[in-house]
Amino acid sequence: MQRVDVSAVNRAGAVLADPDQWALFVDIDGTLLGVAPTPDAVTVPAGLVPLLEAVVRGLGGAAAILTGRRVADADRLFAPLELIASGVHGTELRADRGGAVAVLAKPIPPSVIQAMNNIASIASGILVEQKGCGVAVHYRNAPLARQALESEMAAIVAASSYELVLRQGRKVLEAVPRGYSKGTALTALASRPPFKGRRPVMVGDDVGDESAFLAAERLGGLALRVAGEHFDCGTADFDGVHSVRAWLEALARRMAMQYATRGQSSRTG
């Protein structure tokens, strides 16, 4: 599939112009939801869940969540929806809506988890989050501890016999199995129905989304960036979470209009 030429139009607008050719992949924190002091403190705006349902339906099911959270956490946030999703940076995958979640990597060894828990004592406010196949250390409430945390975590990863990599995020450092990413998840899903034959568009806000941006572009699609702590407004496609939601609302309206027009044509044809 050749890369789409959007030089003459707004990149996000290219998706609105012809939704039928696109498959949507979207991050959660900083993209669909505002960033909160802790992962459990995020709030889901009223109307977002039915909006996601409308977008998924309009795209014929070709929409997926790609997140660093566990898939079960995404389900909790967007209940009752159980969307096609990848969690923990590609190590969890639900390829069918409402289906089982496949765990693609081995759990983080207990010795690594214990070592990560121990480094929380570096500063007050550090939060260690166990994710099964990954472990995240949040320092949003202890920003001055970042350098020390990164050094300690890098040493733990290097000393482990389990092949791990250290990933950076918005005020978080994560140890996850090597060989998995949002990019590997996007690539895997893009080869399956209902995504196959559509151009992937990835919407994200952080360094953890970069692999999925590259994968989408490699498959002839688009990378749409959300301004925040990683991308500034000058280089981003969206000013923030509010802009992403407005775009999704426009996308849902566009697809509803197309559906209504087709229905009218079939009745008069």
- Among 177, 199, 221, identify where a domain stops: 177
Residue 258 is predicted with a pLDDT of: 83
Q: Among this protein's residues, is 27 annotated catalytic?
A: yes
Which residue has 């009745």 as its token pair? Answer: 267
Q: Is the pLDDT of residue 221 over 80?
A: yes
Query: Does some domain include residue 148?
Result: yes
Residue 191 and residue 233 in one domain: yes
Question: Does some domain include residue 5?
Answer: no
Q: Which helix (H) or strand (E) holds 172?
A: strand 172-177
The CA–CA distances, whole Å, from 46 to 77, 85, 117, 139, 238 equal 12, 21, 35, 28, 20
Domain boundary among 177, 196, 227: 177
Counting every residue, how long is the chain?
Answer: 269
Q: Is 167 found in the same domain as 44?
A: no
Tokens in use for 163? 């092949």
Residues 200 and 223 in one domain: yes
- Specify if 140 maps to a domain: yes
CB 169 within 8 A of CB 208: yes
Nearest to 99 by CA among 53, 64, 49: 64
Residues 203, 82: one domain?
A: yes
Say if residue 27 is in the same domain as residue 100.
yes
Residue among 18, 27, 209, 232 flagged as catalytic: 27
Q: Which pLDDT tens digit goes with each residue over 118-156?
A: 999 999 999 999 999 999 999 999 999 999 999 999 999
Q: What is the pLDDT of residues 183-209, one digit of tens each?
A: 999 999 999 999 999 999 999 999 999
Percent of the chain topping pLDDT 90: 85
Q: For residues 70 and 75, what is the distance between their CA atoms, to the nearest angstrom?
A: 9
Task: Provide the pLDDT for residue 6.
Answer: 44
**Amino acid at residue number 147:** Q
Is 197 found in the same domain as 68? yes
- Residue span of the structural domain in which 20 resides: 11-104+180-268
User: Quick one: average pLDDT of 214-229?
Assistant: 96
Q: Are residues 97 and 150 in the same domain?
A: no
For position 250, which CATH number holds? 3.40.50.1000
Does residue 119 contact residue 137 with C-beta atoms inside 8 Å?
yes
143 phi-psi bin (left φ>0, alpha ψ -120 to 50, beta other): alpha
Pair (98, 24) in one structural domain: yes
Q: Is 158 among the domain residues? A: yes
Q: Is residue 97 part of a domain?
A: yes
Residue 234: predicted pLDDT: 86
- Looking at 177, 204, 226, the residue that finishes a domain is 177
**What CATH number is attached to the domain comprising 114?**
3.30.70.1020
Domain count, the chain: 2
Same domain, 216 and 93: yes
| Residue 24 sits in the same domain as residue 48 | yes
For residue 76, being part of any structural domain is answered with yes
pLDDT band (50, 70, 90) for residue 11: confident
